[in-house]
Structure 1
Amino acid sequence: MGEEYLKKNKILKVGLYIALLFTLFLTGCSNSNSKNDSTRNLKDSMGHEVTVPTHPKRVVGSYLEDYLVAVGVKPVVQWSVKNASSTQEYLKKDLKNVPTIDYSLPYEAVTKAKPDLILMGTDSQVQNGKYNQYKKIAPTYVVKNGTDVSWRDQFLDVAKAVNKTDKANDVLKTYDQKLKSARNTLDKKAANKSVAVVWVTNNSAFIVSDKSSSGSLLYGDLKLKEPSLVKEVSKKATADWSSVSLEKLAKLDADYIFLVNSDKGADMFKDPIWTNIKAVKDGNLFQYGNDSSWQYKGPIAYTQMIDNVLKDMTK
């Protein structure tokens, strides 16, 4: 009787031990799967292997805010210049109460933001050892960029990094429907009309490149006619906006001009050269301020610009 009891007791202990090991094994697998589910491995545009959060909560994406907001991600800081005096005002409602960060992204300011993911919009932002510094703060992903990268490609790459590709595709579908409708309207009411975007600040004029910012929308997406001066400036452009003299603007034969006016009291507006520019003389000059989307790019900016174009060109 005693031996049988001991034997059964021994078998019970062994069984409990095996059950305990099995439970620990399952727990380990569960923890491992949970860990794997919480991160994803991506390769960025510069070839960095980056382990990013599956659902990032605190994203720094300076000058990529349009893309982030469009897919429902509110960044923890927003791009600014000149001690926060200049921000992307057209996103003001979407970025309400979001603190600013200088466009140069100082390490201390980025660290203070406590990001769990840092998105960089250009290769130059992480050159000269900067990448290694930023990745010490949080996983750092350089999105597609460069003259050969369209805004759509960049938008989709940002969306991939924050795990919002499906949402981005929905945004583009809606945008393309709006674009198709706008093209049809413009073909009927403003066929073969040429347009240009001029930015005036500090009594100096700039023309947007045909592949950047609002130029990409007007000449690429909307297929509007590009004036010869814009083509000439774009061939030599090294930035989104190129300086152009008032004398050169005299050759601007655009039917319509969209003016981003950052200097309402500029002397150049009183100059006969300016007042005799074709679109100005014909009353087809449409002014927008720094709070507009005309200096930026992205589905939100472009949607607003399409509305502006339709309002001004189809009266």
Structure 2
Amino acid sequence: MKTYSRFTILIAACFLLAVVLSACGASNDANTAANSTQAANAQANANAAADPKTETASNGEATSNTAASAGADTAASEATTRVFKDYEGHEVTIPTHPQRILANQLVGHLLAVGVKPVGTTTSQLGQLSESSFLKPLGLTEGIEDLGDTISLEKALSLKPDLIILQSNDQGGVQNYDQYAKIAPTVVISYGSKTMFEQLREIADIAGVPDQAEQWISQYEAKAAKYREELAGLIPPNTTFSVMEAWPKGQIELFGNLFGRGTFSLYNSLQLQAPAKVQEAVMDKEPSYLGLSLETLPDYAADYIFLSVFDWQEGGDNAKLQKEFEKEPVWRSLPAVKQGHVFHVNVNDFLPGDPLSIEKQLDEQARMLLEAFKK
């Protein structure tokens, strides 16, 4: 049996006492920390109960952060481009919201939906500036003249993000591949759609489809008002033709898918064309027909809207009109004999864009109300 000295026993006892005291101290520290945490939580809960704004502000901040995050996700997920299949069958990746458009035609359609192209052809600028209806509006300001056909050099310098061609511009369509190297390029049909259909298509391409619907809505309201004013004034079955005198005894007859006020007259005011005119040019592509003086009487209506267009170089519309009105065939028509001819300015009635057509509607309604109220 081992024996221990008093000194050894004393050392062991001191060591044991130190361990016990250390354990007690750690336990007290843990309890103190726990008690402090509980006290802090209790105080926070008490403060929240006393001031409900604290919790509301916290929740509001969280909600705001969530909404902002969702908005950012939506913006990030919105496509900046889309694929458009054009009249010629090209599947073109175009901007969702193009900012710099070049157009060889259809500028009036773009302007009607609040989109100003950066450049267009000389003929389009001429139509906007020569029309007494549109010239006062200053629509050509800020639009570059790109020549008879969109100049490749000018197109390149303007840095477009979209080029729109209409199919009847053969020079432009032939340059399609060159234009497509500059910017996404689409080809739109010519003479196969009503003004409303064409407007919706252009607005869709320009990324503003709602603007087309707004424009159409206000136009339809105006047309309905005019129809109401004319109701009962124009006898049933009264017919109307739209014609244009050209050089060398040629006359053009127009249907409702062309300019010259046909859309407003037939589609909007819903007036009637003679059966032969309906068969020849109404809802047809193309919606016009060349006549000779000999065939003119077959398409003449009770009332005729007539314009004169001397398209020759140095042409004189006033001179051509005097010559045309001396033609025996013209003078023999019942509408001419009875004074049922409405003379209109070709510069005002040639364009078939929405802005021009609305003005044509106003002018036709004015003429008809004046004539039939007598």
TM-score scaled by length of structure 2 = 0.65
> Which amino acid is the alignment partner of residue 283 of structure 1?
G
Alignment match, 2:85: 44
More helix by share: 2
Alignment match, 1:276: 332
Contact 1:67 1:158 in 2 (8 A): yes
Distance between the aligned counterparts of 1:105 and 1:161, measured in 2?
19
- Superposed, which structure 2 residues align to 1:193-272 within 5 Å? 193-203=238-248, 204-213=250-259, 214-234=261-281, 239-262=286-309, 263-266=317-320, 267-272=323-328
**Deviation of residue 97 (structure 1)?**
5.0
Alignment match, 1:104: 149
Distance between the aligned counterparts of 2:112 and 2:280, measured in 1?
31
Are 1:114 and 2:156 counterparts? no
Contact 1:251 1:277 in 2 (8 A): no
Distance between the aligned counterparts of 1:257 and 1:179, measured in 2?
20
Partner SS, residue 87 of structure 1? helix
> Percent identity between the aligned chains?
27
Partner SS, residue 198 of structure 1? strand
Distance between the aligned counterparts of 1:67 and 1:236, measured in 2?
20
Alignment match, 1:305: 360
Q: Which runs of 5+ in 2 are unaligned?
A: 1-71, 310-316
**Deviation of residue 311 (structure 1)?**
0.9
- Structure showing greater Rg: 2
Alignment match, 2:18: none
> Which amino acid is the alignment partner of residue 242 of structure 1?
L
Distance between the aligned counterparts of 1:69 and 1:236, measured in 2?
26
Alignment match, 2:127: 87
Contact 2:274 2:299 in 1 (8 A): yes
Match of 1:73 among 115, 124, 132: 115
Match of 1:62 among 97, 104, 118: 104
Are 1:291 and 2:354 counterparts? no
Q: CA distance change for structure 1 residues 191 and 96 in 2, over 3 Å: closer, same or farther?
A: farther
95-104 or 130-139: which moved more? 95-104
> Which amino acid is the alignment partner of residue 50 of structure 1?
V
Distance between the aligned counterparts of 2:115 and 2:173, measured in 1?
30
Alignment match, 1:24: none
> Which amino acid is the alignment partner of residue 269 of structure 2?
L
Partner SS, residue 342 of structure 2? strand
RMSD: 3.2
Distance between the aligned counterparts of 1:163 and 1:128, measured in 2?
23
> Which amino acid is the alignment partner of residue 244 of structure 1?
L
Contact 2:241 2:304 in 1 (8 A): yes
Q: CA distance change for structure 1 residues 95 and 240 in 2, over 3 Å: closer, same or farther?
A: farther
Aligned length: 281
Q: CA distance change for structure 1 residues 129 and 265 in 2, over 3 Å: closer, same or farther?
A: closer
Distance between the aligned counterparts of 2:179 and 2:269, measured in 1?
38
